[in-house]
């Protein structure tokens, strides 16, 4: 996954992202108070997707780990 791809994908959904020295940051275009920072491109994508889906994916991940005894 390339940062440019995530940046384009996020922009289509109303989010902006930037590459910093050692991390990536994002914010909602129409609500800059919705923002975050990630250490990798995959974590950036996950953070934005969790925000888009109202954290349903995060909840799914948590339930899956608990159900399957993963930490």
Instruction: Provide the whole-model pTM.
Output: 0.77
Mean pLDDT of successive 10-residue stretches along the chain, which has 71 residues: 90 96 96 94 91 80 83 61
Number of domains in the chain: 1
Report the pLDDT value the prediction gives residue 1, as an integer from 0 to 100: 65
Report the pLDDT value the prediction gives residue 17, as an integer from 0 to 100: 96
Host domain of residue 36: 3-67
Three-class secondary structure assignment of the chain: CCHHHHHHHHHHCCEEEEECCCCEEEEECCEEEEEEEECCHHHHHHHHHHHHCCCHHHHHHHHHHHHCCCC
Report the pLDDT value the prediction gives residue 14, as an integer from 0 to 100: 96
Report the pLDDT value the prediction gives residue 37, as an integer from 0 to 100: 96
């Amino acid at each position: 996954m390339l940062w440019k791809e995530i940046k384009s994908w996020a922009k289509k959904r109303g989010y902006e992202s930037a590459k910093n020295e050692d991390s990536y940051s994002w914010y909602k275009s129409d609500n800059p108070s919705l923002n975050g920072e990630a250490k990798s491109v995959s974590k950036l994508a996950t953070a934005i997707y969790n925000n888009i889906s109202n954290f349903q994916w995060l909840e799914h991940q948590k339930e899956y780990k608990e159900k399957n005894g993963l930490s």
